[in-house]
Amino acid sequence: MPISESSSRDERRGVREQGFLNTPHLSSLIPRASLVCVGSELLRGKINTHASTLARRLASVGIELYHEHTVTDDLEDLTDAIRRALAADSIVVVTGGLGPTFDDLSREAAAAAVGRNLIYVPKLFKEIFRKFKKARLRNMPPANGRQAYLIEGAEALANRVGTAPGQWLEIGSSSPAVVGRGSMDSPPVAAGNDGKKVLILLPGPPSELNPMVDEIVLPKLKKKFPPIPIAETHLHFIGVPESIVDQRLRPIIAREKGVQFTILAHLGFVDFDVFVSDRSKRRAERRLAIIAKKIQAKMGPAFYGRDDDYPLEKVIMKKFVSRGATLAVAESCTGGMLSKRLTDVPGSSDYFWGGVVSYSNRIKQSVLGVREETLRQYGAVSEPAAAEMAEGVRRQCRSSWGLSITGIAGPSGGTAKKPIGLVYIGISGPGRTKTFQFHFRGDRDTVRQRAVIGALDLLRETL
């Protein structure tokens, strides 16, 4: 069952650190990357999505993003950030600061960080000018000529969307620009197959950056850093806080040398990832299967899916469809949130018949058939009301199962007997109706979301 407690920030940090501390073998094999995001606006409230986007893309070619730094448009600060990133990791990706304006300083900072000059490339200037002409813009501002400068020894990366070309520079791991300044976290771990590190400059706008990464950068990185044989799995848990998952699985983490574990909690759920490296993919997969089996046994009913068995709504749909069962829901305090989550999954129409948002007592009575006596004696937030709501929506929609949610989400409406966060969930099926009481903590939105998660978990357990 979902619970309302959550682990502290310190606990979450400790679990993640444990996952990385026990992976010396894997860490020495997987290339590590740093991301340096440039732009004062990123430190003034503008949402920066580069870290999550690039982390996924780099992981797809066997590279792990270890550090992310956001730096203002200051030449000295940016130069120092790039220099320290090169000292720490094998690959450094710099995003932003390649435009033509006064605050675009990535080229200058990167050149200073590696101790090289900027070289004017006439071919690049012609290409930039051609793009202006093709776009039918007026005369190209002279400042755009800055984009035609490359770091000495760098390769230009074509930008088919914007005017700023990217840059790819390989430098020796023993270069004075790379060593001798101290690292941010630990010494360099892995260099390319030729012993060199890579510095990559990319434009900041996602419409330019993402195509360049997919079409140019990832293929080049895959060639330079051949992926090692890794088997991975992603295990999904519900109803237990992150600290409990940590407590139960620490003995496994401690025993399994050369294996990487990561843990991430989000409201009501915990994801636990396992990465195993070995001399061959087959050996890695065999070892991974054994570890995953141990983890599932330790976690018991909290385990609800693996890898693509996510989100939970997808697992529920598969269970209903495989049994030929159908579902309808009646929601009060959640206002349709459960119906939305269920129908967000493609194919949900195969089992989900419909729902009723019975926010008022009048709708509970007229549509769902909740008795006036029930509401008068027990109230809308009660076990009897939840039971009659579930039975009523099942009857009205002619579904195999009916599920109801009624509660007090707050911030007002609570009493000593019925406090804010009190939620009843009813489930009615062939020959039986059951109700469950919960008390969720948090603000209005958190209580509503936890109520939906509680209902989803009840559906999973029921089937």
Backbone φ and ψ for 3, nearest 5 degrees, come out as -125, 165
The percentage of residues in the chain with a pLDDT greater than 90, rounded to a whole number, is 66
Residue 459 contacts by C-beta under 8 Å, 6 or more apart in sequence? 316, 319, 327, 401, 403, 427
| pLDDT tens digits for range 10-62 | 333 333 333 333 444 455 667 899 999 998 888 888 888 889 889 888 988 88
| Residue 355 DSSP one-character state | E
| pLDDT tens digits for range 210-253 | 999 999 999 999 999 987 888 899 999 998 999 999 999 999 99
Separation between Cα atoms, residue 348 and residue 262, nearest integer Å: 31
Maximum mean pLDDT: which of 47-56, 58-67, 343-352 = 343-352
Q: Is 283 left (phi over 0), alpha (psi -120 to 50) or beta?
A: alpha
Lowest mean pLDDT across 121-130, 164-173, 233-242: 121-130
Q: Is 136 left (phi over 0), alpha (psi -120 to 50) or beta?
A: left
Residue 129: give the domain boundaries: 31-224
Q: Are residues 119 and 235 in the same domain?
A: no
- Band the pLDDT of 124: cuts 50, 70, 90: confident
Q: Are residues 42 and 119 in the same domain?
A: yes
| pLDDT tens digits for range 265-306 | 988 899 999 988 888 889 999 999 999 999 999 999 999 999
* pLDDT at 263 > cutoff 70: yes
User: Does any domain span residue 14?
Assistant: no
Q: pLDDT at position 418, please?
A: 95
Separation between Cα atoms, residue 92 and residue 32, nearest integer Å: 9
Q: Are residues 235 and 220 in the same domain?
A: no
> Domain of 431: which CATH number?
3.90.950.20
Fill in the amino acid letter for 359: Y
Domain end marker among 176, 194, 224: 224
Q: Are residues 45 and 113 in the same domain?
A: yes
Q: pLDDT at position 173, please?
A: 63
- Band the pLDDT of 131: cuts 50, 70, 90: confident
Q: pLDDT at position 20, please?
A: 35
> Domain of 293: which CATH number?
3.30.70.2860
Q: Are residues 290 and 390 in the same domain?
A: no
Domain end marker among 203, 224, 245: 224
* pLDDT at 175 > cutoff 50: yes
Domain end marker among 183, 202, 224: 224
Report the number of distinct structural domains present in the chain: 3
Lowest mean pLDDT across 209-213, 256-260, 282-286, 424-428: 256-260
Q: Are residues 270 and 401 in the same domain?
A: no
User: Does any domain span residue 83?
Assistant: yes
* Two tokens, residue 215: 């079409």
| pLDDT tens digits for range 395-417 | 999 999 999 999 999 999 999 99
Q: Are residues 186 and 274 in the same domain?
A: no
User: Does any domain span residue 46?
Assistant: yes
